[in-house]
Amino acid sequence: MDIKTASALSRLRLVSAPEAVSFLLLLVCSVLKRTTDFNAVPVMGAIHGLLFVLYVLFWLDAWNRTKWDLKTAALYFVLSVLPFGGFYAERKLKREAESAVMASRARREGVVGA
């Protein structure tokens, strides 16, 4: 894995958890808007919208660089629209990046023919 691919995965991982948190907060704000006089939906909507756009851009970049198959790319996109999906995506991306780093080190040291 080259440095640009690792950076793309890192960026996607970095934005996935905040995007999930903003989605959950937006859901809470939507409920509060309908049950109380508290209305933070415009602010949370803008924050979540920005984070979602960043997630999609970083997802496209990661898909392009890692050459994921359609199933893997679709999984990461679907996780972005599920309330707790961003947390799962973050953990999965962390594992994927760690295994790629280990494989790269093993190839460099000649331990395996990976």
What would the two tokens of residue 27 be? Answer: 């859901």
Cα angle for residues 78, 62, 107 (degrees, 5° grid): 125
CB 106 within 8 A of CB 114: yes
Q: pLDDT tens digit string along 11-64? A: 999 999 999 999 999 999 999 999 999 999 999 999 999 999 999 999 999 999
What would the two tokens of residue 103 be? Answer: 């494989």
pLDDT above 90 coverage of the chain, percent? 71
**Distance (Å, whole) CA 90 – CA 97:** 10
For the chain, helix, strand, coil in percent to 5 are 85, 0, 15
Domain residue limits at 8: 3-113
What pLDDT does 5 receive? 84
Q: How many domains does the chain have?
A: 1
What pLDDT does 113 receive? 55
Q: pLDDT tens digit string along 92-110? A: 999 888 877 777 778 778 7
Q: Output the CA–CA distances (angstroms, integers) from residue 2 to 57, 65, 68, 76, 97, in the order listed.
A: 19, 9, 15, 21, 11
**Distance (Å, whole) CA 92 – CA 76:** 9
Q: pLDDT tens digit string along 61-82? A: 999 998 999 999 999 999 999 9
